[in-house]
A = this chain, B = another copy of it.
Amino acid sequence: MIIIMHPQATEDEINAVTDEVARIGFRPFMNPGVERKVIAVLGELDVRKADLVEHFQSMPGVARVELISDLWKLASRTYHPENTVVKVRDLEIGGKQVVVAAGPCSVESEAQTIEIAHQVKAAGARMLRGGAFKPRTSPYSFQGLGEEGLRILARAREETGLPVVTEVMDTHDVDLVCKYADVLQIGTRNMQNYPLLKKVGSTGYPVLLKRGLGSRLRDLLMSAEYIISEGNHQVILCERGIISFEDSTRHTTDINAIPVLKHWTHLPVMVDPSHSTGNWQYVGPVAKAAVAAGADGLLVEVHNDPQRALSDGPQSLKPDKFAHLMEELKRIANAVDREI
């Protein structure tokens, strides 16, 4: 940690800071002679540094406090250089294979879900996605089938062998969802729902953690840290679009996030081009971009009748379009020495 004083900081203010550094058990170290006084804080800093930054930030005469190491430890590649591979039944996420999870936004009926599951499997998808508990902006929108939806997903898994990823929205439902799902999805609106993160961390189930719409990558990693610090290392990160001023697409796919996350963390990274564009016409190009940039997997919405879908119809691909996209994605995966 480095403490940078204001140009007008007094001797007394500087002394108060160095005294405080010593009081809490560190050694202050001051640079000689530069325009502004800069105090380095020496010693074995643990992960409670975030508090110390605020602590010193509020002292008189302090202009700025800079951390010189990451705030996440368990998620950091610095301390864990090799890639984490998350195992979901026979699947490996974060290995050579680019894993595509596909399916309807919401589970609507058993017939529909099983039909779509067969279709996406035939096209090469390795996991089934579908929502039983649906977070909807409006209280008047379809809220999902709940446990009935979970049962349908489990039936579709039996039929197709595809493992299931589905969202859990409340600590109260975690045990229930664990009964049916293979991967617990934390949705964008709950990325910083800390009781929920701790709870899924305690299950040991693989977790797909979606980035918040307005969350920086460092905040995403801090949320991953909540899960891992409960003892659950099976975390998959998911870029699903961020908010911006651009209004031609629902959200802005942050393609930069892929190399940045790969640089910062050992966790696998997936991308959801359906939500990040909000428009099926743009799903294909963005899915291809994600694989080219190094994503370990994709979440793609597929619906056999998007016009009658109970949620997110406009961003869903029809099965034939999805099959065509999978062919294109295989070529991109090969071009980056991976496979689908």
Residues of A within 8 A of B (CB): 2, 4, 7-8, 20, 29, 31-36, 38, 40-43, 45-48, 50-51, 54-55, 57-59, 63-64, 66, 68-69, 71, 78, 135-143, 169-173, 189-190, 192-196, 198, 212-219, 222, 225-226, 229, 242-249, 252-260, 262-264, 276-277, 280-282, 284-286, 288-294, 306-314, 316, 328, 331-332, 334-336
Contact = CB atoms under 8 A, between A and B. Distances in A.
Nearest to A263: B281
Question: Nearest 6 pairs between A and B by C-beta?
Answer: A214-B214, A58-B313, A292-B292, A289-B289, A189-B192, A170-B195
9 contacts: A34-B68, A63-B68, A139-B225, A218-B248, A247-B247, A252-B256, A256-B286, A288-B293, A288-B336
Question: Which applies to chain A's interface (DSSP): helix, strand, loop or mixed?
Answer: mixed
Contacts of A139: 194, 198, 222, 225-226, 229
How many copies of the polypeptide does the oligomer hold?
4
A67 B168 CA distance: 31
A254 B263 contact: no
A157 to B, nearest CB: 25
A190 to B, nearest CB: 6
A294 to B, nearest CB: 5
B293 A38 contact: no
A57 B313 CA distance: 8
Given A7-B69, A172-B195, A286-B259, A42 B51 contact: no
A246 B217 contact: yes
A194 to B, nearest CB: 6
A42 B48 contact: no
